[in-house]
A and B are shown apart, each in its own frame.
Chain A
């Protein structure tokens, strides 16, 4: 489990700069872990969808994993809390837990900059 997260966890400053750039242009791969159709999960998904549509239209991909159906996937991404959002791409991997109700904070947390003019 450690082995999976560690190599990607320590990017150089260079890498971070590159990811910031790709944040504007590259693909975003997001993974949302939920456990059944709970209100929190539904809120999180709708918040995320809304955010992505606003800032990353066309270049994002959201994968929803329901741990009730696939519990074996929980350990791989070190999931403890539900819902958890994992930014797989761009690197580095970022993790946000909660129903994503604070839009300002999630943008900072995900390193997501508002499109100019907004």
Chain B
């Protein structure tokens, strides 16, 4: 049994990692080792770059030297093109880790006469491979041969032979091909390369372009079948396997402060769960950014990193504005704890935004991410698309225990309890900011609409933005309903006056009582004195009576003794 398993494992398809971030995740390891892979797509979709990156990473990370056989661009052009991505091909060439062979086939320079084959190409490739012991080969774009040479039958036969030859030599090969009309490649290369086919796409929707990648076919192995967005930036190709992020993440029990004491109190007294998703929605000017800034400030004070994605304001603008309400973010930025990324949402497609955000989050590893506002994102795409993008982002953030604050601008015409993105069910904590219009004033109110996993306050708090930051105070709930702002103050003053009155009244009453007590005490004293006097009188009378009795007795005895005599 055990030996059978080993046999199976050995027979399992070996994969060569491309080193392209994300791609190796989608394909569970990379392209098939020792076999050709076809990368096809329309012009400008990044095929060549994909190939070059595959070689560069192979040479630098996996000790697999490579040969780049280019049919379209000269070696110098390619070097220049990828130098901007930080790949120094010259150095790799000097280190004998890379060979670039430019095959120039121009129909106008070549006369065909009689039978021929492409042995010259084989020899060139073979020579280059042997020279550096190459394990990887990129043919970019071999289809150019079809426009340079007339004899299609020979070409097809020779290409078939070439791919077979590469396979026999165990070379991991990437062949690029231009997308044809209704076919993957113009010349039907997919016919010859049957192991792995990757389709790159560059789509423009609403004047915004998004690059996408799909593994069309991967024989003998599982792979992600979705279309994955990818981007090409100053660090090369990045593919985002975000749709693969599952729901099996662990959760944290740790709580983090929002930076606003009263808000923490509303959230079960301890603040937010680490890694939870917070939606901060409200209409214009309700103080969404101020609350976000508070959270960023608090997070930075804890010494943790924060990324602030702003789609409306520039970093300088946010910092200036927040300074005016007593939140100084500048030191955090200087320390590198807080990073701002301001872009217009329409600059990229949605997927691109997601990929960018993902990449930045990956690089910075923050514990708090603020997106201000998410509602602007869908100017870059449709609503359902933007929801998808956000769901994927939330999933990956939760997975990494990154607290995420999403600011959403709700239009006043709609119900306050809905967000346009349909995000409400996704979030863990929803803080709703709303205007309370009363007595010719517009004041801000905040309440916790929901907060999963904690006993949260059900009260509306009035939300004040002062020079010392945000403050939350309980609103006045009276017979007239919720009172805020000066109405609340007036009510408070009135209440204070009434209380004073009551207090005065009470004092007066207690004084009267005291008076009465003293009067009664005086009366009691008088009565007691009276009684004492009566008592004394009675005692005196008793004495007199006794004395008289004694006298009588004495007199009587005296009398009787005198009679006897």
Contact = CB atoms under 8 A, between A and B. Distances in A.
A75 B117 CA distance: 16
A40 to B, nearest CB: 6
Interface string B130-159: 000000000000000100110000000000
A2 B102 CA distance: 8
A78 B116 contact: no
Nearest to A2: B74
| Size band of the interface chain A makes with B | 35 or more
B543 interface: no
Contacts of A71: 123-124, 126-127
B124 A99 contact: no
Contacts of A96: 110-113
A94 interface: yes
Contacts of A33: 120
A14 to B, nearest CB: 20
Contacts of A90: none
A95 interface: yes
Given A1-B104, A2-B74, A75-B101, A44 B114 contact: yes
A114 B149 CA distance: 27
A44 B116 CA distance: 10
A1 B124 CA distance: 13
A40 B118 contact: no
B103 interface: yes
A80 B113 contact: no
Interface string A95-118: 111111110011001100000000
Given A40-B117, A78-B103, A82-B117, A109 B124 contact: no
Contacts of B117: 40, 81-82
Contact of B119 (A35, A44, A94): A35
B168 interface: no
A70 to B, nearest CB: 9
A47 B118 CA distance: 20
A38 B123 CA distance: 14
Contacts of B113: 96-102, 105-106, 109
A66 to B, nearest CB: 10
Nearest to B124: A74
A23 B493 CA distance: 113
A84 B125 CA distance: 17
Nearest to B110: A95
Nearest to B99: A75
For the complex, would chain B's binding face be called helix, strand, loop or mixed by DSSP majority?
A: mixed
B213 to A, nearest CB: 31
A54 interface: no
B120 A74 contact: yes
A6 B119 CA distance: 24
Interface string A56-96: 00000000000110011011001111111000000000111
B124 A81 contact: no
A27 interface: no
A109 B111 contact: yes
A80 B158 CA distance: 11
Contacts of A22: none
A50 interface: no
A106 B110 CA distance: 11
B145 A80 contact: yes
A67 B120 contact: yes
A94 B109 CA distance: 7
A95 B126 CA distance: 23
A17 to B, nearest CB: 19
B105 A80 contact: yes
A84 B112 CA distance: 9
Given A68-B123, A80-B121, A97 B116 contact: yes
B120 A101 contact: no
A95 B120 contact: no
Contacts of A35: 119-120, 123
B552 to A, nearest CB: 167
Contacts of B75: 1-2
Which one of A75, A101, A106 has the greatest number of beta carbons of chain B within 10 Å? A75
B127 A72 contact: yes
A21 interface: no
Contacts of A68: 123
Contacts of A40: 114-117
11 contacts: A2-B102, A5-B104, A67-B123, A74-B120, A80-B124, A81-B120, A94-B109, A95-B109, A99-B114, A99-B116, A110-B111
Given A80-B105, A81-B120, 9 more contacts: A2-B74, A71-B126, A74-B124, A75-B124, A80-B121, A81-B117, A81-B118, A98-B114, A109-B111
- Interchain residue pairs A-B with the least CB separation, the first 9: A98-B114, A109-B111, A71-B127, A101-B114, A99-B114, A79-B120, A82-B119, A98-B113, A35-B119
